[in-house]
Amino acid sequence: MHPIRRHIALLMILAALSLGLACAPAPSPPQALHLPPQDLTPLLPKLGKGGCLLRPAYQAHRAKDYLERYFDCWTRPKPKHNQAELWALARPAAEKPGLGINLRPHSPGWYRKLWQEAGGNAYPSTDWKGLTLRPCHLRVLPTLEPDFEDGPGGGFPFDRLQQTSLPGGLPVRVWHVSPRGGWLVVETPLALGWLPTDAVGRLTPRQKARWIKGPFLAVTRDRTPVRTLGGHFVFNAALGCLLPQEPIRGDSWRMLAPLGVLQGEAVLGPCALPLENAAPFPIPLTPANLSMVARPLLGQPYDWGGQWGQRDCSALTRDLLAPFGLWLPRNSADQAKAGVVNISLDGMSSQEKRAFVLMRGVPWLSLLYMPGHVMLYLGAPQGEPLVLQALWGLKRRTTQGEGRFRVGRVVITGLEPGAGLPDLARPEGLFLPRLSTLVLLAPPEGRCPHSD
């Protein structure tokens, strides 16, 4: 083709393409989730200087109960869970195999093989007390490989083999060692599951007696570095972590921490924590302390089972209240039963539920539960109930099928987040129709008169 004709042809093609692009509809902008101001300051209780939400005597009582539950795995004479309960943790994945790290289906026999190789049928096979040596992951089966359920509501980040994350220095009871020695079945204050052997150190009776004696420091800020007195890094302590306090105090807190293992036994040593990142347990439940603990959590990524050091919904509520001595179990369904008063909202209309929360909810001392999800009630300064929650997403339904509007972080919301999204699934994508329980965490006689 002659060069001029080729040039003209190219211009015609470009003109046609530009005309097509001009006529094509512009892509629709991404839908936005309208949230209230992400500021806890106006939501903190107005108690005056030094005011507390809980009476000191009641808080001390709750802290004592917290420690009894925390060390229950050490003090009980026999395993809390039988072999059937241990296998039941893995049953959902075993009965409906999910996807592995390559997003290919696991074979049906993969789960049973893991169980058999780890000697699950021999549980319980041993008995000793230990501490986690560092932050680690408690697993449903003895593997660090994931299992993602295929289909709506499954997939990343919901690894069905992740029980929960555990902090360093957590009491554990070892009830089984795999034949090869690489995995342990442990009972912890949070859950039952499998841990790699190198994550746990065995305690001598003397070490255990010193650890359980206390008093304790509560970590009040995530990723607080625990260091030896010589400045060597040991591990990062998470919010709510408890460590035995040593009497010496200078420009930092002094406490005991596991430094490693020697021939299987834990090595404990004096360590230091920054003064601003810990306090004697339990810390007073004041507005200033609530702000100190809760404010850094806003905006943190949602993290199912704590696999990357963040939190899902129940870990958020548990860890936030732990430094104050208020015990909560690890999963949302158990938290719905953990209050001093648990009020069913079933049978109420959405508007009746909203009105009931406004009438009976106690800001910062109430949980709101719906199946599979839990939130902390913050109050209603402008007449609309607000909650703090770690929210993965909201169910949506489009012409392409079911999906999620991903939020993926810790946020302040109302009780109807996403109600303005045109493709939100209704009613299952809305919160109020599914809200089932109001959990009150302290009785009126345990609260200070000006805390309501």
Structure tokens at 411: 């946020």
CA nearest neighbour of 51 among 365, 218, 366, 288: 288
Confidence at residue 33, expressed as pLDDT on a 0 to 100 scale:
84
**pLDDT at residue 445 above 90?**
yes
Average confidence (pLDDT) over 327-355:
96
Average confidence (pLDDT) over 319-336:
97
**pLDDT at residue 3 above 60?**
no
Dump pLDDT digits (tens) for 377-427.
999 999 999 999 999 999 988 877 788 889 999 999 999 999 989 899 888
**pLDDT at residue 14 above 60?**
no
CA nearest neighbour of 320 among 364, 257, 273: 364
Dump pLDDT digits (tens) for 80-117.
999 999 999 999 889 999 999 999 999 989 999 999 99
Average confidence (pLDDT) over 36-53:
90
Q: Please state which of the ranges 149-153, 160-164, 183-187 shows the lowest mean pLDDT.
A: 149-153
- Tell me how far apart the alpha carbons of residues 383 and 379 are, in angstroms, rounded to a whole number: 9
> Residue 99 carries which DSSP code?
B
- Tell me how far apart the alpha carbons of residues 195 and 52 are, in angstroms, rounded to a whole number: 39
**C-alpha distances in Å from residue 149, one per residue of 105, 158, 161:** 9, 8, 10
Q: What is the DSSP string of 368-388?
A: EEETTEEEEEEE-TTSS-EEE
Structure tokens at 127: 């008995």
**pLDDT at residue 261 above 50?**
yes
**pLDDT at residue 278 above 50?**
yes
Structure tokens at 146: 């994931």
**pLDDT at residue 339 above 50?**
yes
Query: Within 13 Å and on the Cβ side, how many CA atoms surround 338?
Result: 26
> Residue 450 carries which DSSP code?
G
Average confidence (pLDDT) over 320-340:
96
Q: Domains along the chain?
A: 41-53+285-441 (3.90.1720.10), 60-199 (no CATH), 207-280 (2.30.30)
**pLDDT at residue 28 above 50?**
no
Dump pLDDT digits (tens) for 207-244.
999 999 999 999 999 999 999 999 999 999 999 999 99
Tell me what the pLDDT averaged over the chain comes to.
91
Average confidence (pLDDT) over 272-295:
96
Q: How many residues does the chain have?
A: 452
Q: Please state which of the ranges 147-156, 291-300, 380-389 shows the lowest mean pLDDT.
A: 147-156
CA nearest neighbour of 40 among 411, 314, 440, 328: 411
- Tell me how far apart the alpha carbons of residues 223 and 235 are, in angstroms, rounded to a whole number: 9
Q: Please state which of the ranges 175-179, 203-207, 384-388, 428-432 shows the lowest mean pLDDT.
A: 428-432
